[in-house]
Amino acid sequence: MEDFGTFDLQLERVVSSFEQYERFSSLEYIVDVLNAVPDLCVILNDRGEIIFANVELLEKLNISSLKTIIGKRPGDILQCVRALNNPEGCGMSEACQFCGAFNAIRESQRSNAKVSEVGRITSIINNEEVCFEFAIYSNTVTVEGMQYFVLTLNNIDSEKLLKTFQRIFFHDALNLMGGISGLIQLMEMTEDVNEIPLYIKDLNHIYSNLVSMVHEQKDLILAEHGDLEKHNAFIESSEFIDGLIKQFSSHPVKKNKNIIVDKSSAQCIIYSDPVLLSRVVTNMLKNALEASKENDNVILSTLKEDNLFRFTVHNNSFMEREIQLQVFNRFFSTKGNGRGLGTYSMKLLAEKYLGAKVGFTSDMGNGTEFFIELPLNKDIKTS
């Protein structure tokens, strides 16, 4: 895709796009075919600008007139967060190089052939981030001697989400059940009755993890649909951290690794949902431990600053830039198919339900830090 230059050049291209729209829309047989397509479909010129869109797209995106989107790019009309946050719009941010739609169009342009990709797009709808997963197809077509691109988007969001939930649930549930089975076998084999209470304690711990996992998956589904209810309470930060440390005391991901609480951490009374906050910070700790090497330390710290309270989780690993640009995308994972909800759920729960902010930094020298920043009630005493 070419970069946009001056405003005059942009205006010139918009006029050109309208001329192409007029030419294309006069071909009734093509228009009828495109309007019969049940998926979202747009026709792009060689600059990736829309010169035609089918009825399905206009209806699904609540666009009153086709002419209002002529000359725009797909990410612009989909309200993609990357496009909205970049003055030059769709296709111009650093993260766009990993966009399925952008890559499908670019590869189709290069190869002059049909290309398929999976595209994850985060849109801003009613001031909230909404994630979509599309099967994207781009193909070239020549009309009256000019080359255009047919871009089709098939929303596979619900299907992909259901499959991902199923894979995560079955994978984690089977692991926990395997632990239960192993402990039962040990109990059957033991000749020392004094060991039985220890096995029962471990069984209760695994059972609690299994119940917690079921509730976590249930709440994430509710959060996805905007139906999750939060239950705020006063939380003492040091007690909250102690609970997290105990939760990881026998977790497999912590094996031969250490969680250390920074001694300079601030203490504070927070008013928030303790369950949802625990899920966010637990995911931060879990990801940090998974990224750490044997005998590494994961540092958990807290900081009070003005009317904000921050939990930070640090590990020594470094994320490549390609990963950093996609880290909060739903379904993006470095762990293979069927994952990719951990960091996404952190952002969803924190920003949509806790009124908080999540983010991270990662560089070769200092490692990686994830944080959640919560607003504080001014009337709550801190120390």
Can you give the CATH number for the domain in which 240 is found? 3.30.565.10
228, 246, 280: which is the final residue of a domain?
A: 228
Q: Using one digit for the tens of pLDDT, what is the confidence trace for 37-46?
A: 888 999 998 8
Same-domain pairing of 213 and 336: no
Which of 146-160, 243-257, 304-318: highest mean pLDDT? 304-318
User: What is the reported pLDDT for 247?
Assistant: 81
Same-domain pairing of 241 and 376: yes
pLDDT band at 178 (very low <50, low <70, confident <90, very high): confident
**Mean pLDDT value of segment 294-318:** 93
Same-domain pairing of 114 and 252: no
127, 155, 183: which is the final residue of a domain?
A: 155
Same-domain pairing of 278 and 371: yes
Distant-in-sequence, close-in-space partners of 191: CB < 8 Å, separation ≥ 6: none
124 within a domain of the structure (yes/no): yes
User: What is the reported pLDDT for 280?
Assistant: 92
**Mean pLDDT value of segment 345-365:** 90
377 within a domain of the structure (yes/no): yes
Cβ-contact 328, 315 below 8 angstroms: no
Task: Select from 257, 245, 268 the least CA-distant residue to 294.
Answer: 257
Cβ-contact 383, 267 below 8 angstroms: yes
Can you give the CATH number for the domain in which 109 is found? 3.30.450.20
Same-domain pairing of 66 and 86: yes
Cα-Cα end-to-end distance for the chain? 54
Same-domain pairing of 222 and 276: no
User: What is the reported pLDDT for 111?
Assistant: 83
Domain that holds residue 114: 7-155
155, 190, 209: which is the final residue of a domain?
A: 155
Q: Is pLDDT above 50 for 338? A: no
Same-domain pairing of 238 and 380: yes
Spatial separation of the C-alpha atoms in residues 57 and 15, rounded to whole Å? 22
Six-digit token string for 211: 């119940």
Same-domain pairing of 150 and 264: no
User: What is the reported pLDDT for 172?
Assistant: 66
User: What is the reported pLDDT for 374?
Assistant: 94
Same-domain pairing of 286 and 254: yes
Give percent of the chain above pLDDT 70.
85
Same-domain pairing of 170 and 276: no
pLDDT band at 198 (very low <50, low <70, confident <90, very high): confident
Domain count for the chain, please give it. 3
Q: Is pLDDT above 60 for 382? A: no
- What is the chain's mean pLDDT, rounded? 81
pLDDT band at 269 (very low <50, low <70, confident <90, very high): very high
User: What is the reported pLDDT for 4?
Assistant: 37
Same-domain pairing of 192 and 254: no
Q: Lowest mean pLDDT: which of 14-23, 79-88, 208-217?
A: 208-217
pLDDT band at 336 (very low <50, low <70, confident <90, very high): low
Per the model's pLDDT, the better-predicted residue between 54 and 322 turns out to be: 54
Cα-atom radius of gyration of the chain, to the nearest Å?
Answer: 25
Q: Is pLDDT above 50 for 3? A: no
**Mean pLDDT value of segment 369-382:** 76
1 within a domain of the structure (yes/no): no
Element of type H or E holding 282: helix 274-291
Same-domain pairing of 83 and 176: no
User: What is the reported pLDDT for 160?
Assistant: 57
2 within a domain of the structure (yes/no): no
Q: Is pLDDT above 60 for 383? A: no
Q: Is pLDDT above 80 for 370? A: yes
